[in-house]
Structure 1
Amino acid sequence: METKPEANGKMDTKENMEAKKEEEKVEEVDKMVQAIGTFERWQIMLCVMVAFPSRISAAWQQLGIVFVAPATSFQCTETNLTDSIQPATCYRDCAKYEYFTEFENTIISEWDLVCERAWMANLTQTLCMAGVLIGSIFFGFVADRFGRRIALLIACILQLVTSLIEPFSISYWMFTIVRFFIGTSIAGTMLCSYILMMEITGPKRRELMSVLCALPFPIGQMLMPLFSYYLRSWNRFCLGVGIPNLIYLIYIFLLPESPKWLISQGRLEDASKVMASAARWNNRPSDNMLDVAKAIAYENANSKDGQQGKATYMDLLRTKVLRVNIIGSCSLWFMLGISFYGSNQYIGQTSSNAFVSVALAGVFQLPGIMLSGILSKKVGRRITLICFFCVCAVSNALLAVPEDLFIVRLVAGAVGVGCASGAFATVYMYTTELFPTVTRNMAMGASSTISRVGSMLAPYVAGLTTVALWLPPAAFAIVPVLGALTLLILPETKGKILRDHVA
């Protein structure tokens, strides 16, 4: 009886040693890692230059509607009625409204988005999210067909131009259309920058790179209230968060192409130049990089398949493995879109101060993101996601407690936001590893698109409170459980080389 635990301990130790050896073996045969390094000065420089600005800006642009169209009280000041005029009451013949808010000017007061025009404020954010959805599909295709660099440059320049036009909008419809294209650019900057970072990082450091790429978004969310607090006007706020996008101009001169993508397209000389530059940055030998690129291409069993360089979304359904992976990935992203909203909506109710609420939502995401890197490294992607989904399910279920138990709801919401953020950080990395180079961005784009659909459906789930107060928390709890079950059909990808072709 006493020998079993000891035997199991030995078995576990043996399995861990074998897993470690397998991971080291993968690293050894990854010629790209041997040539340019796993995670050194070049990778760190690109992460700081590309991932940080693009993700911080994405947070400002995507979430800025909270301060551009905040909750606003109003009262009619010009009407033919002689009776006393009630605040927050709509009158058919009202010619002018007075607005009461913490801000000097909002899009609500600028274009009278109250009463019969109140729906227009929500439409602005809906079209912005629709832009993110369209951008996920468009930039996913462009990045896989024409390269990570060109797709990221288009997205960055589009965001720069539209974010500087936005504060000078002369009408509601001009503002809303610009917001749509800003949403489109957000999808491109977030997806393409992440894929580029993961493709230049070795298997042993992907967890660290994933965390570093995820952290800027909540940091941007925490910084955003400072802009709003000091600028206090929708156009000054939009200009304030738009000017930093000028950093994108240096990408035209400094942004490299992914050497993995170049090799997958047969552009070995171009790949060797990028690899040589990376090697010099990392104080490694930069000679014979063309031979290394040729060796990597030769090792790929499908490198002679001419169709691989022109992959389409249909290639995601081409083999049984990819069909299972894309269905599973889209399901995970859809469920995360709903779960993340389920936790965040309650965090927004923890304070009547919008500045504090937005900052809190950013703070609560940090622990989950950092924990995702640790767990992904120790136990793998699948187990990490299953743990996050299960804890998120319990947290969302606890949101059904009465409002009197404020502390329970606050803690549950905070844990739920942290777990959902950690799951998002992990699923970004997991999706990257599930698909080959020629379809990686398209797979990420398709999954992200489905996630947006989940986020857009989530408010309707939250609206089930009109039927029963316990229904929304129950729904938000069941969805993560389904996500955990979905992971059972997907493979583990920890420590694996990023493959280049479909077959």
Structure 2
Amino acid sequence: MDTESNNKKASKDDKMEKQPEADKMVKAIGDFGKWQVMLLLLIVAPTKISSAWQQLGIVFLAPATTFMCTETNLTDSIQISTCYSDCVSYEYYSEFENTIISEFGLICDRAWMANFTQTMCMFGVLIGSIVFGFVADRFGRRPALLIACMLQLVTTVVEAFCYNYWLFTTVRFFIGVSTAGTILSSFILIMEVIGPLRREFMNCLCALPMPVGQMLMPLFAYYLRTWNQFCLGVGIPHVLYLIYFFMLPESPRWLISVGRIEEASKVMTQAARWNNLPSGNMLDVAKSMASEKVNSNEPIRKATYLDLLKTRLLRINIFCSCTIWFVLGISYYGSNQYIGQTSSNVFVTVALAGVLQFPGILLSGFLCKYFGRKITMISFFVVCGGSNAFLVVPEDWFAVRLTMGAIGVGCASGAFATMYMYTSELFPTVARNMAMGASSTVSRVGSMLAPYVAGMTVIAAWLPPVAFAVVPILGAITCFFLPETRGQKLSDHLS
């Protein structure tokens, strides 16, 4: 009996030893309480919902549109959706009263400009990731988020009043910049106040509001049938961002890292009170955390991007990671835009694609926990590619196209959620942020190309579904070269 008791005690001690060293801040403010839930609902949910509206809104701004020449000087016979050099004016036919295609005449030799608008928006997201990443590290998470939110509020309202194409596209670029800032800054802030045991759970919660936004977007488009009404409809809710000036806290970890100890203690005191924890000694806790950084005798190794190529393992990991993120950029954003253009009911299709992202995101957490990251990514990619392949069926097969297109988007969403966690585990601490940044940047390149892949229907109707079927398979093959990271301790240093 004593032996069994000793074995249980030893086993318990071993588990305790395997756990990471207690985080003083987590012990002080709680790992996941009412304060963290408040931040999730106040910051992450609105910014992620808005990001869906801004990044995927092109589906309703530039939907599938047919046109016909109504006034010509020379041509006798007129065919629908055919361009004529002598045509004086065209009429446009779509589900909407007015779109950017009909407003700015984006047909014939100007047809590429509709896709270019979305490309510029995604290029803005790329630039915004770089700019606001720097701002958040240099000046704080709160200023970065406030600037991004105010920029988004202004640009989304101004967008509805743009009177020409190039002004509209320029505003879309800055909308992309602001969208990157809101997503990045809010994600950094929420993850810095969450305990390590809850971070995977929080990763799923942070991903869920985006499909919620996608599900709400068709409601705006259904009742607001002109492009400027739609822009204004999804822009006005950003007025809620004004409350951030009064309720948004700064990250206490960032405050401590820059020596603003008293400010950090005030935020921690507020958090502890929200979570019903003792709050009397927060200044001492903050000073203790600061002293650990100051008194540390360990040499600080500042890694560079070149260190990601230092060893064979890191070279393989960064190459594969960037390839997979590129695939995700094309698959997720391209599929969303394509199914919106080819469906006979764009409202149902977009909403259903949002609904199916819920099981994809939740399934990613389950599969990662029990089967590992690698098999999860491969499974999502294979199903995504297979589903997209069915989009080559005739347009009359509406149910098949609708179901398979939505499943493909759901799998791409689940793969995205998985890859965020997988990438962070593939690289050591000193180079993890750079690896995430490099991978995310490549993903934005993929998302910039996505509209052109979706627009290849003008060449041949079968080209986009074939491309969206082949690209995920490339991602699945790439996953085979990555190691499994489930259950493994995160590495800290470059080997």
Q: Is the 8 A contact 1:261 1:438 kept in 2?
A: no
1:392 aligns to 2:386 (yes or no): no
How far has the Cα of 1:406 moved from its partner? 7.8
1:294 aligns with 2:294: no
Corresponding residue number in structure 2 for 1:21: 15
Q: Work out whether 1:273 is the aligned partner of 2:266.
A: yes
> d(CA) in 1 for partners of 2:258 and 2:299?
9
CA distance in 2, matches of 1:267, 1:439: 26
Per the alignment, residue 476 of structure 2 pairs with 481
1:69–1:106 CA contact under 8 A, matched in 2: yes
> Secondary structure of the equivalent of 1:285?
coil
Residue 145 of structure 1 contacts residue 438 of structure 1 at CA under 8 Å; is this kept in 2?
no
Unpaired runs of at least 5, structure 1: 1-13
- The Cα shift of 1:87 comes to 2.5
Distance 1:265 1:406 in 2: 57
Q: Deviations over 1:437-488 (max 9, x none)?
A: 9987665443221111223445677769969979636632432324423431
Partner in structure 2 of residue 173 of structure 1: 166
Supply the distance in 2 between the matched residues of 1:328 and 1:272 (Cα, whole angstroms).
42
8 A Cα contact 2:156 2:235, kept in partner: yes
* Aligned CA distance change for structure 1 residues 413 and 63 (closer, same or farther; 3 Å): closer
TM-score w.r.t. the length of structure 1 is 0.82
Matched with 1:352 is: 344
Change beyond 3 A, Cα 1:20–1:212: farther
Distance change in 2, residues 1:416/1:431 (3 Å): same
Which whole-Å CA distance do the structure 1 matches of 2:191 and 2:470 have between them? Answer: 34
Contact 1:225/1:359, CA 8 A, preserved across alignment: yes
Aligned counterpart, 1:191:
184
Q: Aligned partners of 1:92, 1:407: CA distance in 2, in Å?
A: 39
1:8 aligned partner: none
Matched residue SS, 1:97? strand
CA distance in 2, matches of 1:341, 1:297: 42
Distance in 1 of aligned mates of 2:337 and 2:446: 14
Contact 1:397/1:476, CA 8 A, preserved across alignment: no
Give ranges in structure 2 of 5+ residues lacking alignment. Answer: 1-7
* Counterpart for residue 393 of structure 2: 403
- Bigger shift: residues 249-258 or 177-186: 249-258
Q: Does the alignment pair 1:32 with 2:25?
A: yes
**Preserved contact between residue 146 and residue 244 of structure 2 (Cα < 8 Å):** yes
Q: By how many angstroms is 1:242 displaced?
A: 0.1
Residue 75 to residue 344, structure 1, CA distance change in 2 (3 Å): closer
1:372 aligned residue:
364
CA shift at 1:426, angstroms? Answer: 2.8
1:214/1:47 CA distance change after superposition, 3 Å: same
TM-score (normalised: structure 2): 0.84
Query: Identity percentage over the alignment?
Result: 63
Q: Write the distance in 2 (CA, Å) between the matches of 1:411 and 1:159.
A: 33
Q: Which residue of 1 aligns with 2:3?
A: none
SS at match of 1:487: coil
- Which stretch of structure 1 is more off in the superposition, 409-418 or 50-59? 409-418
Question: Contact between 1:430 and 1:493, CA under 8 Å: does it hold in 2?
Answer: no
Q: In the alignment, which residue of structure 1 is the partner of 2:5?
A: none
Distance in 1 separating the partners of 2:215 and 2:306: 40
Offset at residue 329 of structure 1 (A) = 4.4
Partner of 2:441: 449
2:356 match: secondary structure: helix
- The CA deviation string for residues 23-66 of structure 1, in whole angstroms up to 9 with x for no partner, is 9832x611111111111110000100000110111111111111
Aligned partner of 2:4 in structure 1 is none
State the match for 1:472 in structure 2. Answer: 467
Give 1:219's aligned residue: 212
Q: Give the length in aligned residue pairs.
A: 479
What displacement does 1:358 show?
A: 0.9
- Counterparts in 2 of 1:136-147, with a 5 A limit? 136-147=129-140
